[in-house]
Amino acid sequence: MMLVRLGYVAMSMNVKNSSPSQTMTYTQFSKLKDREAAIAKLERIAASNVTNCLRLLRHNAVHGIEFFRLSSKLIPMANHPDLPDWDYIKPLKDSLGNIASYLNEHPDMRVDFHPDHFVVLNTKNTDAFQVSLKTLKMHKALLKGMGITPEHRCVLHVGGSYNDKEKALEQFIHNWGLVPVSLQKLIMLENDDTTFNLRDTLYLCEKIGIPLVFDYHHHLANSEEEPSWEEDWTRVVDTWRNSQLPIKVHISSPKSEKEFRAHADFINVKSFMKLINGIKGSVPQVDVMIEAKHKDNALFALMEDLGKEPGVEIVGGASFYIT
């Protein structure tokens, strides 16, 4: 039997007024003539975002959801060049501490981040690389403030191909040596839907010794031959051998045949079960992040569908065993 836990991304369709991604633009910020007041407003927005994260975690606990992706937009303008000395973590100490206390009471709850697309580690642009490192440092500080062990909590894409995929892979390895070890420990890599396929990403993960997050939908959209991920699954599992966390995969369904790469509102249970039946018995547990437009409603709908599938034993609001 293999335990499967489902999670969803950042926001709930059911908890009202709970956005963890409230923001403030630089234009809005610059219109406030009193700089200290403007920074204070940023800090209030960030504190509200973190408090809403706690509300979402409480919602998840009520519904038996033990896996959740935190928003990477918790702190508006966190790395803006006009705020180089802003210590945004200090005013969040209490609100982050509330999450730490809650997670301490719910030790089985797994949370992580998926930093924004501009976090690119294989770029040759020095400024872009430094912004990526600053953003990873922010995520690490947030994790520490929440009492979460930072290791393997941030999933990234490989980056751009820059018109030469092989060189771009080697550039990643070169740049990896410039990433502080404390930030290296944060990172997992995910195969993408346009450029770096499963085997490209496996090459990197095996080379630098970090986990690979297998995205099933991305693989279906970006495989050089007929999709045959099963033969590489053992390699995926092996990238997690030094992690304290269960293997993580991503699941989404195509919006349509025409818009195959776009995410649908819900998850197609038959496609999902094809993945699960392909990996059952290979590991004791898999945590599955649902990337669907309808967020927790997509999770609830999938759980209802799974209750009708053979070999599925429901054991919680968002967990099941597959035999």
Binned average pLDDT, 10 residues per bin, the chain of 323 residues: 98 97 93 92 97 98 98 95 93 98 98 96 97 97 98 98 97 98 98 96 98 97 81 97 98 96 98 97 98 98 98 97 97
C-alpha separations of 175 from 169, 179, 185, 208, 250 in Å: 10, 7, 15, 11, 26
Instruction: Give the per-residue pLDDT at 227.
Output: 61
217 sits in which H/E element: helix 216-221
Could you tell me the CATH number of the domain that includes residue 142? 3.20.20.150
The pTM (predicted TM-score) of the whole model is: 0.96
Amino acid 2: pLDDT: 98
CB atoms inside a 10 Å sphere around CB 210: 21
- Note the pLDDT of residue 224: 73
Write down the pLDDT at residue 223: 87
Pair 199, 166: CB distance under 8 Å: no
The per-residue DSSP string of 242-304 comes to T-SSPEEEEE--BS-STTTTSBPSS--HHHHHHHHHHHTTSSSEEEEEE--TTHHHHHHHHHH
C-alpha 231/C-alpha 234 separation (Å) is: 7
Alpha-carbon gap, residue 32 to 70, rounded angstroms: 29
- Structural domain of 215: 2-322
Residues paired with residue 11 on neighbouring β-strands, in sequence order: none
Distance CA 120, CA 96 (A): 27
Pairwise CA distance, residues 27 & 248, whole Å: 39
Q: Helical H runs in 32-125? A: 35-62, 93-105
State how many domains the chain has.
Answer: 1
CA distance 179 to 114: 18
Query: What does the block give as tokens for 162?
Result: 């820059």
Tokens 């993580």 correspond to 248
